[in-house]
Amino acid sequence: MMGVPLMHEAWRAGVSKFVALGTVCAYPKFTPVPFREEDLWNGYPEETNAPYGLAKKMLLVQSQAYRQQYGFNSIFLMPVNLYGPGDNFDPESSHVIPALIKKCVDAREVGQDHIVAWGDGSPTREFLYVEDAAEGILLAAERYNDSQPVNLGSAFEISIKELTETIARLTGFNGQINWDASKPNGQPRRKLDVSRAKAGFGFEATMPFEEGLRRTIQWYGSWRLADRTAGSY
């Protein structure tokens, strides 16, 4: 609900352009891969993400309605899963990459012989490095003037199993990975068609995935060290 009055008051205040950020969680559960913007309305989102995805999708409807009725220049971008330095590493609320980094680093430091990962590792995901995401948003703000939704992604797909193994290797955790199949897998696959972003405002992600992971892990290590030094860890 926060987005609804924000867009409305921006229009009332005469804001020249409004950039609304949606989410790939708005896509139907079994969207054909790669996800194309044209398929956004062809089904109900994956159940565990549906309330969030539908709420975000209403901003797209509002954006299009305000452009049609008022000539309001609002655009709607759908970033894929983001990661990078400064991410949320709280185990109660973090997303998959920071959660796995923390699990692996913690296990390595205490000599734990295993970690537990959710699901069975079969789903796939696409991730976008935070600096690439910022560049994409900036380019769209400068160059894109249409209310048709636009994917922001890297076009790189990886399974959760391979992701977990990669993070374990990069963090130096050599223990076992145990899969808790009682936990949900989420959407089976997630990979975007990013051609509209390239054609519409010249955006292409440039960060290689492993390099982005290394930078995120390095940042997390520095943050932990600073937090310990400050005596609050």
Active site residues: 52
Q: Which one-letter amino acid corresponds to residue 14?
A: G
Query: How many CB atoms are closer than 10 A to CB 129?
Result: 23
Give backbone dihedrals phi and psi of 157, rounded to 5 degrees, phi first.
-110, 135
The gap from C-alpha 122 to its chain's centroid, in whole angstroms, comes to 18
In single-letter form, the type of residue at position 173 comes to F
| Phi/psi at 72 (5° precision) | -80, 125
Query: How far is 87 from 181, CA to CA, in rounded Å?
Result: 26
3-state secondary structure 31-76: CCCCECHHHCCCCCECCCCHHHHHHHHHHHHHHHHHHHHHCCCEEE
In this structure, what token pair is assigned to residue 84? 């990078």
User: What is residue 83's DSSP assignment?
Assistant: E
Determine whether 24 is exposed, middle or buried from the number of CB atoms within 10 Å of its CB (0-12, 13-18, 19+): buried
> Rounded CA gap, 117 and 228, in Å?
26
Say which residue the tokens 């520095």 belong to: 222
